[in-house]
């Protein structure tokens, strides 16, 4: 029981929520500075969650009441579990299980699935358009990312977080090779799409759909989704560090891991602030064409040892 409580705090819900909300603030603050604005104070993301929790939850007539409320909680629980598995795998490499790296990737997909459920039952036509886009986007970025995960697992000889980090500890980070660099760049785009950030914010598209798939969400329901996205922002960046950049080790390695994390955040923020929103057909062609082709190329280079 004590171990469960410990993992709930670190690296579980409490730790992931705090780092995720601080990461969201960093995103907003740096975006504001890029746009010559002041940006919010450090506590703004926490205040936004608190404000939403006090607001009324308005449920559409057409929606299933219990499903509308429970769906985002499933998404929040899934990303919390994903971050916990990643953290436990780093703390104790022997505590992992075969295929845990694949499980983590698909746990991060559950918030999108819960959002699809809410949007499709809301009865709002603009939400329905957002649902259609979210499903297509989910199917698009998943293919190149799965190819990359299989490539990494094949290279290190194991489908566990522990085996991936241990191999890189002995042999050096995968990002030190051409296949690692290519894979890392592709993974950045896949994570940007998974988080629904510009240029892949097609399901929300405020200027076209007026928040689209999120239109009927409010109060604590919206708070659960916003918090799950904040945790996913932290968790997916952490996922990239484990997959391509050697993970986290004690001592000076923690400071180096923080620097890696901040660099990934900067990449995601610059991508968000320097690109226009794509159409859904453009996004699908991009992931099924260039990104999938690049992932296959990375796999061939990994096989050749380049």
Cα–Cα distance for residue pair 110/100, rounded to 1 Å? 16
**What pLDDT shows up at residue 122?**
83
Domain boundaries, the chain: 2-304
pLDDT, residue 270, reads 95
Of the given ranges (82-86, 175-179, 249-253, 299-303), which has the lowest mean pLDDT?
249-253
Q: What is the mean pLDDT of the chain?
A: 90
Tell me the mean pLDDT in the region 85-91: 82
As a whole number, mean pLDDT of residues 6-21 equals: 83
d(CA 157, CA 155) in angstroms, rounded, equals: 6
Local structure of residue 12 (DSSP, 8 states): S
- pLDDT score, position 3: 53
Q: Which of 111, 102, 115, 108 is nearest to 83 (CA)?
A: 108
pLDDT value for 166 = 87
């Amino acid at each position: 029981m004590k171990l469960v409580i410990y993992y709930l705090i670190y690296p579980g819900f409490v730790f992931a929520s705090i780092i995720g909300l601080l990461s969201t603030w960093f995103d907003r603050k740096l975006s504001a500075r890029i746009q010559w604005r002041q940006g919010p104070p450090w506590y703004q993301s926490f205040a936004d969650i608190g404000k939403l929790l006090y607001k009324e939850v308005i449920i559409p007539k057409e929606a299933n009441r219990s499903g509308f409320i429970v769906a985002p909680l499933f998404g929040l629980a899934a990303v919390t579990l994903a971050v916990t598995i990643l953290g436990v795998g780093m703390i104790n490499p022997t505590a992992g299980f075969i295929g845990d790296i694949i499980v983590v990737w698909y746990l991060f997909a559950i918030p999108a699935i819960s959002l699809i459920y809410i949007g499709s039952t809301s009865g709002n036509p603009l939400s329905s358009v957002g649902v259609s886009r979210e499903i297509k986007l989910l199917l698009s970025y998943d293919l190149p990312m799965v190819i990359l995960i299989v490539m990494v697992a094949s290279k290190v000889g194991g489908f566990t977080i522990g085996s991936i980090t241990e191999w890189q500890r002995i042999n050096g980070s995968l990002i030190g090779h051409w296949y690692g660099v290519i894979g890392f760049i592709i993974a950045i785009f896949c994570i940007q799409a998974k988080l629904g950030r510009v240029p892949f914010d097609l399901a929300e598209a405020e200027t076209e759909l007026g928040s689209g798939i999120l239109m009927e969400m409010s109060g604590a329901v919206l708070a659960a989704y916003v918090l799950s996205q904040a945790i996913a922002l932290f968790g997916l960046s952490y996922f990239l560090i484990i997959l391509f950049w050697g993970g986290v080790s004690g001592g000076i390695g923690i400071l180096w891991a923080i620097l890696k994390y901040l660099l990934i955040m900067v990449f995601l923020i610059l991508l968000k602030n320097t690109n226009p929103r794509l159409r859904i057909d453009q996004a699908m062609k991009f992931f099924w064409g260039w990104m999938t082709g690049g992932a296959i190329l990375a796999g061939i280079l990994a096989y050749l040892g380049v």
